[in-house]
């Protein structure tokens, strides 16, 4: 069992006061956007998905959940953190990009709760904790 795990940090605006279901949908959207964006790359050939991802990203997508490997469940470790405003979310996204981290922004379509165009959350990574920590380490876990 590896002692180091790749993870993805999803940063969500707390000021939008999203209902639990909406929050869950936005977080799922952010995480999935990472995968969908990779499938849109010109290097993708149907049935050959490995070429869409770096070795570390492929590891994140396939690494079994530690301690329950026998279930076959893939970990795809994620942490959901909060910021208080759009300005804070933009600042975190800019810092992540400046640090060379992959970011996937989610802007709301405005069909429920949030206004159309609201920058609701951003997925950062997946990457190694030591690369994520300088950017997201000081954020509070979403509660």
Strand order in the sheet with 78-83: 103-107, 119-127, 7-13, 78-83, 140-141
Per residue in 6-31, pLDDT (tens digit) is: 999 999 999 999 999 999 999 999 99
Q: Which residue has the higher pLDDT, 58 or 42?
A: 58
Q: What is the pLDDT of residue 78?
A: 95
Split at pLDDT 50, 70, 90, the class of 138 is very high
| Structural domains in the chain plus CATH codes | 7-141 (3.40.1490.10)
- CA-based torsion, 74, 76, 77, 78: positive or negative: negative
Contact 89, 13 (CB under 8 A): yes
What is the spatial distance between Cα 101 and Cα 80, in angstroms, rounded to a whole number?
16
């Amino acid at each position: 069992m590896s002692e180091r795990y790749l993870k993805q940090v999803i940063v969500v605006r707390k000021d939008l006061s999203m209902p639990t279901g909406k929050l869950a949908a936005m977080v799922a959207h952010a995480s999935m956007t990472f995968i969908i964006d990779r499938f849109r790359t010109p290097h993708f050939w149907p049935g050959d998905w490995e070429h869409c991802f770096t070795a570390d990203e492929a590891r994140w997508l396939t690494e079994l959940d530690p301690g329950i490997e026998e279930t076959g469940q893939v970990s795809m470790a994620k942490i959901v953190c909060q910021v208080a405003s759009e300005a804070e979310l933009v600042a975190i996204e800019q810092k992540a990009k400046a640090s060379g981290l992959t970011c996937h922004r989610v802007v709301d379509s405005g069909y429920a709760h949030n206004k159309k165009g609201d920058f609701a959350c951003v997925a950062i990574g997946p990457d190694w904790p030591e690369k994520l920590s300088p950017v997201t380490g000081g954020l509070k876990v979403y509660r």
